[in-house]
Amino acid sequence: MNQNNIFSILVVGSQKHPLAEKCLNWGEDFYIGDYDIVIFNLPSLTKEEFIKIYTKNNNYFLNIRDQIVEAQAKTDLAVFCIMDNFFDHLKENNYSWCSIVPIFEKNAGKKIPEQKKTLKIKYLNLIEDWEILLLNYRNNTGYKDGDGWEYKFEINEIPYLVNNLKRSIAFGLNWKVSTQGVIRFKSNKPIIFLPKIKDLSKGIDSIIDDFSSTEIPAPSWINNVKIHGEQEIQTEIENNDKQVEKLKQEKMDLTEKYDKITKFKKLLYLKGRPLEAIVVDGLRLLDVNLEELEVDNLEDRVFKYDNFSIPFEIRGKGSSGLDEKDLAQLIKRIADRERGEKYKTRGVFVINHFRNSEPAERKEVCNINIIKQAEVFNICIISTIKLFELVNKNLEGEKIDLKEKLFNVAGLFK
């Protein structure tokens, strides 16, 4: 045992952690009640290793579970689990050893904007990405609940680290068992689940280090004892914390503004449905509101006025411009459409031509024959480059009456 530790720490599934009291491989026997903290390294429990252990002793993992339930109900046992998922055909990891089985969805990512302050461990700062997100969980304590059972089982989730959609990446799960509202058993500490990181050995050492010390922990009454200069420094720390929170909020606001305007760059490289969506956003900014019809594949969008409508075709092409086949689709849709008197234009074709090239290097939108054909049918052809320029001008503060210009053009919009 390492005499420097306040807590006795057991690591299962990982070796060579000098600050731990004991390090064991999966399959070795141990008694959890002898320890204050147990760290389970699940990435080291491969599918092959699990089957090998289970075949030799099918009670091995359930025995660990029962020990955790007993110890957490009687002591302050803290359980850390570094998560992994090797059962691809199931929605859950192998957590037969665990009191609570978290059920995951495969959902990888890197944006981790929020850290809760309820868990202060260095491991959280080492997390750069994740492979799975918490979806649900189920009772595995051995205590059953329901109409035919005496007990009621409840789980309380505590998020420690969340992504930009407020989904849990690192979290704790508390459990309790009650009868008619009276708590019979409960975990004094949550079971803590952490995503795996690139250097797991370093991560486990960081957890151990957070609970290792050469000092005796201070008693609670020491906070009532004051020393000169303590209050001033504490006040300064609190003021700095407020400034940090203010700067964080300002950064979030700026990021939101940044995303709000830079999304219009998508006009220059998208195609298909995503292009349709950003074209709609760009035109809405210019006070031209398009609608989507309930009938699929009739037309991409329409602009409605009075009792009339102007159809829009929106297309992205990688290495070519607008051709006769593209234009013919729009011509068919305006052939029998009743025309209004307010606007000259009968249809609009928005084209992101040669989208694989930079805007300055792109060829013409289409040839002169297609432009003449569009003029005959009162169709307006506008490139997404031109729409991007108009959006830019609007963001600069220039007022543009796009409706009058866009809907009174036959041929290429200039």
Three-class SS of 248-263: HHHHHHHHHHHHHHHH
Residue finishing a domain among 180, 198, 216: 216
**Is the distance from CB of 88 to CB of 122 less than 8 angstroms?**
no
pLDDT for 112 equals: 85
Residue 231 falls inside a structural domain: no
pLDDT for 412 equals: 96
Residue 240 falls inside a structural domain: no
Closest CA to 42 of 193, 206, 265, 240: 193
Residue 238 falls inside a structural domain: no
Kindly report the CATH number assigned to the domain that includes residue 352: 3.40.91.70
Domain that holds residue 183: 9-216
What are the pLDDT digits (tens) for 28-49?
Answer: 999 998 999 999 999 999 888 8
Lowest mean pLDDT among 39-53, 348-362, 384-398: 39-53
Residue 245 falls inside a structural domain: no
Residue 258 falls inside a structural domain: no
DSSP states of 318-361:
SS----HHHHHHHHHHHTTPPP-SS-S--EEEEEETTTTS-GGG
- Considering the domain architecture, whether residues 303 and 404 belong to the same structural domain is answered as yes
- Mean pLDDT throughout 7-16? 92
Structural domain count, the chain: 2
Residue 27 falls inside a structural domain: yes
- Considering the domain architecture, whether residues 272 and 183 belong to the same structural domain is answered as no
Between 268 and 115, residue with greater pLDDT: 268
- Considering the domain architecture, whether residues 173 and 103 belong to the same structural domain is answered as yes
User: How many other CB atoms are there within 10 angstroms of residue 36's CB atom?
Assistant: 18
Residue 107 falls inside a structural domain: yes
Sheet holding 379-383, edge to edge: 301-305, 308-316, 347-352, 379-383, 411-412
Q: Judge whether residue 321 has pLDDT over 70.
A: yes
pLDDT for 260 equals: 93
Lowest mean pLDDT among 44-53, 98-107, 141-150, 357-366: 141-150
Mean pLDDT of the chain: 88
- Considering the domain architecture, whether residues 144 and 46 belong to the same structural domain is answered as yes
Tell me how far apart the alpha carbons of residues 277 and 262 are, in angstroms, rounded to a whole number: 15
pLDDT band at residue 113 using 50, 70 and 90 as cut-offs = confident
Q: Judge whether residue 1 has pLDDT over 50.
A: no
- Mean pLDDT throughout 10-28? 93
pLDDT band at residue 247 using 50, 70 and 90 as cut-offs = very high
Q: Judge whether residue 297 has pLDDT over 70.
A: no
Residue 239 falls inside a structural domain: no
- Considering the domain architecture, whether residues 51 and 139 belong to the same structural domain is answered as yes
- Considering the domain architecture, whether residues 42 and 175 belong to the same structural domain is answered as yes
> What is the residue whose two structure tokens read 């930009």?
164
What are the pLDDT digits (tens) for 196-209?
Answer: 999 999 999 999 99
- Provide the 8-state DSSP code for 399: -
Backbone torsions φ then ψ of 110, nearest 5 degrees:
-130, -20
Most confident of 94-108, 158-172, 355-369: 355-369
pLDDT for 261 equals: 94
Query: What are the C-alpha distances in Å from 240 to residues 96, 118, 247, 322, 336?
Result: 46, 20, 10, 58, 69
- Considering the domain architecture, whether residues 406 and 291 belong to the same structural domain is answered as yes
Tell me how far apart the alpha carbons of residues 311 and 337 are, in angstroms, rounded to a whole number: 10
Write down the pTM of the prediction.
0.52
- Considering the domain architecture, whether residues 307 and 182 belong to the same structural domain is answered as no
Residue finishing a domain among 185, 216, 247: 216
- Considering the domain architecture, whether residues 199 and 335 belong to the same structural domain is answered as no
- Considering the domain architecture, whether residues 192 and 305 belong to the same structural domain is answered as no
What are the pLDDT digits (tens) for 207-227?
Answer: 999 887 656 667 888 888 989
- Considering the domain architecture, whether residues 301 and 169 belong to the same structural domain is answered as no
Residue finishing a domain among 160, 190, 216: 216
- Considering the domain architecture, whether residues 167 and 72 belong to the same structural domain is answered as yes
What are the pLDDT digits (tens) for 179-196?
Answer: 777 777 788 899 999 999
**What b/e string do you get for 246-272 counting C-beta neighbours within 10 Å, with b at 16 or more?**
eeeeeeeeeeeeeeeeeebebbbbbee
**Is the distance from CB of 337 to CB of 368 less than 8 angstroms?**
no
